[in-house]
Amino acid sequence: MIKTDILIIGAGPTGLFTVFEAGLLKLKTHLIDALPQPGGQCSEIYPKKPIYDIPAFPEILAGELVKNLMQQIQPFEPGFTLGERAETLDKLDDGSFVVTTNKGTKHHAPVVVIAGGLGSFEPRKPLIPNLVDFEDKGVAYIIKDPEVYRDKKVVISGGGDSALDWAIFLSDVAAEVSLVHRRNEFRGALDSVEKAADLAKLGKIKLFTEAEVVKLYGDDNLEAVVVKHNDEAKGETYVEADNFIPLFGLSPKLGPIGDWGLEIEKNAIKVNNAYDYQTNIPGVYAIGDVNTYPGKLKLILSGFHEAAVMCQSAYQLINPGKRYVMKYTTVGGVEGFDGSKKEAKKEVVQSILA
């Protein structure tokens, strides 16, 4: 059985930053994530997409943010159980918890922190009869590495920011990009809509509006798609394609966590934001996009704040009656469990006696 001070469910940005805040308090952490690598959505769904609202970073790629967080927490030597989903939560007589994964790995801790983002994700798939036959054979629902599409013929379906952004990005990577949307109006940012329209005029994007992909063709791999137009006079268009990427969003699900007896509201976990983001189960906290409370903002920076506040409460729960005096890192530095230490250089004041 894996034992730790704080067990973190979810290794996205909020979960990773929790390791740092706990480390400052000399608390050991271990993380569970169903994905095979840390980083959550930032690693799995959009590692190459820029993020603009991280303090002190005017722009940073999601994958780079994860890389930096991993470097920041390295001195605190967190443990990881990756590629396994937290399945059950059992409370012991002493108030501590045992969390067991779908593969039977058991974890024991006095504090459990759910930092699972929006939960597990399932892509919203278009109703195309043979769609699943081409999954991993030309059909994908997320773009991890744009270089996969270098010099390929790519068809993207969707009318939101993801569809627009990737169509624009891949117009400089792929041999041919087609963007198909059921309506004439897009739901994305105006700047992206205008840019896509400009690229269409230049012939860098083939734009099909008021249309949808209805058929896929190919032997072992995808070779073409059929675009059906709403206007019956236009009929159907046969489009050669190496790749088809329907970007209709992802459906978040809490999964087994939803059966743990937590108070749930609109697929999110209710917490006490007036104090420490604790759930209705004492000792179980929820931070980041997975929680909800009045005034909640689903932002990475909000999750960072919640992690810091939660760790202070967890310290008191783990060390009842023990007083902790918070020190700023600029004063106390950062001392890792690996023996490393970062601290500001001390000023030397020399007295000269006459």
- pLDDT given for residue 224 in this prediction: 96
Question: Tokens in use for 249?
Answer: 């969003």
* 354 C-beta neighbours (distance < 10 Å), count: 2
Distance CA 167, CA 246 (A): 11
Question: Tokens in use for 84?
Answer: 């396994």
Question: Tokens in use for 177?
Answer: 């990009």
Q: Which residues of the chain have pLDDT under 70?
A: 118-122, 252, 346-354
CA-closest candidate to residue 171, choices 144, 150, 189:
150
Beta strands across the sheet bearing 222-229: 211-218, 222-229, 236-240
Cα separation values, 210 from 141, 186, 227, 230, 233, Å? 21, 11, 10, 6, 13
Computed from CA positions of residues 108, 112, 116, 119, in that sequence, does the dihedral angle turn out positive or negative? positive
* 261 C-beta neighbours (distance < 10 Å), count: 12
60-61 and 50-51 strand pairing? antiparallel
- Beta-ladder partners of 50: 61
Contacts of 347 by beta carbon, 8 Å cutoff, 6+ apart? none
- pLDDT given for residue 193 in this prediction: 93
Predicted model pTM: 0.70
- pLDDT given for residue 167 in this prediction: 95
Distance CA 3, CA 113 (A): 14
Could you read off the pLDDT of 41-53 as tens digits, one per residue? 887 777 778 899 9
- pLDDT given for residue 305 in this prediction: 96
The CB-based long-range contact list for 313-321 (8 Å cut-off, 24+ gap) reads 313/275, 313/276, 313/277, 313/278, 313/285, 314/5, 314/6, 314/22, 314/25, 314/27, 314/111, 314/113, 314/285, 315/25, 315/27, 317/110, 317/111, 317/283, 318/5, 318/6, 318/27, 318/110, 318/111
